[in-house]
Amino acid sequence: MKISIVVPCYNEEACLQKYYDAMSEVRARLETEFEYIFVDDGSRDRSLEIIRELAGRDCEVRYVSFSRNFGKEAAILAGLEAAEGDLVGLMDADLQDPPEMLLEMYNGIVNEGYDCVGCRRTDRKGEGKIKSAFARLFYKIMNKVSDAELVDGARDYRLMTRKMTDAVLMLSERDRFSKGIFGWVGFKIKWLEYKNVERVAGKTKWNFRKLTKYAVGGIEDFSTAPLRFNNVVSLLLFLAAVGFAAFDIVWACLGKFAGGGMLTLFIIIPVTLFLLSLLFFGMVLLGEYIKKIFKEVKARPVYLVRETEKDAALSQTAQSEKNEKSENADAFAEVAATRNEP
């Protein structure tokens, strides 16, 4: 078995060596093959030099370096595409994702049968109050309007099986919102909770403007709910037109129309409202087709398979091999014990 760990890096010269040192300890405790995939996302500092140096010293270090800064989403995609492991992990370079949790993640997949083990912060310590409030609001809205389940506080830090990684890569959309994609593909996920850790060095690459763009982009990518705005406006305008017309009729029956000017006004208003509601209804119709185009252009898979009878047969063979091994080990232990008898 091989584990690949994808590490997007953008101007992380202050963190990279610390990250590598901390990870080396964890790596030593994993009895599998291993590879790091550092993705240098067009860093302008010494990040690439450090990564090159690491790759020169350690043959388990691989890297991809971008021609410019394309953003973390692009870095994640490049890393996942380059990863060759049976298990693929995703981790930040700033040690905000505690490396030792990787062992628990590995255990969750190999021994507990999960397809993915992710990490969830239970607090937002060290983060501004306004930023936290907006983040919470974002998760609430996103879960209401999209079919991708998002977990509040979930980080990108996760370990996935090859099957889930391939599923994530099957979503070939260019405008990528990984948090949504991970939720969209489904599979059995276990969440490990931990208290927020602040980055070991350097500064966050996110400011309020970038975060807002990220959040709005996420909603656009995973929901057509904003198009419903036209439905609401069209309906409101229609109701207003009907209300006004009814008012006109009652007013006319009561014989309260004073003069020509007022009459014109009382006719023009409901007619205008009605025409406007028709206009918005036209946009609703357009929206319906745009929704379809949106779906087709994204070309997401219609379904994803988690298991077939072939997998069941495979896991049975693996289980019996495991049992055989442990029986052999028991027999060996017995023989060893009898040999040691006086």
Place of tokens 């049976």: 86
Sole window of 80-88, 140-148, 204-212, 236-244 interacting with ligand UDP (rule: CB under 6 A): 204-212
75 binds, among Mg ion, ligand UDP, none (CB under 5 to 8 A by kind): ligand UDP
Query: Which of positions 27-46 make contact with ligand UDP (CB under 6 A)?
Result: 41
Please, which residue, 204 or 264, has the CB nearer to ligand UDP? Answer: 204
User: 3-class DSSP state for residue 149?
Assistant: coil
Report the C-alpha gap between 156 and 133 in whole angstroms.
20
Q: Which of 13, 35, 92, 115 binds ligand UDP (CB under 6 A)?
A: 92
Report the C-alpha gap between 236 and 273 in whole angstroms.
9
Q: Which of 206, 208, 257, 332 binds ligand UDP (CB under 6 A)?
A: 206
Q: Is 204 in the site for ligand UDP (CB under 6 A)?
A: yes
Report the C-alpha gap between 74 and 236 in whole angstroms.
42
Q: Is 131 in the site for Mg ion (CB under 5 A)?
A: no
Strand 116-121's sheet: what is its strand order?
61-65, 33-40, 2-9, 87-90, 154-161, 116-121, 189-194
Amino acid identity, position 117: V
DSSP category for residue 78: H
CA atoms within 13 A on the CB side of 130: 4
222 binds, among ligand UDP, Mg ion, none (CB under 5 to 8 A by kind): none
x/- map, 61-80, ligand UDP, by CB under 6 A? --------x-xx--x-----
Please, which residue, 35 or 94, has the CB nearer to ligand UDP? Answer: 94
Place of tokens 């990279």: 16
CB of 41 to ligand UDP, least distance (A): 4
Chain residues in the site for ligand UDP (CB under 6 A): 8-10, 12, 41, 69, 71-72, 75, 92-94, 96, 199, 204-206
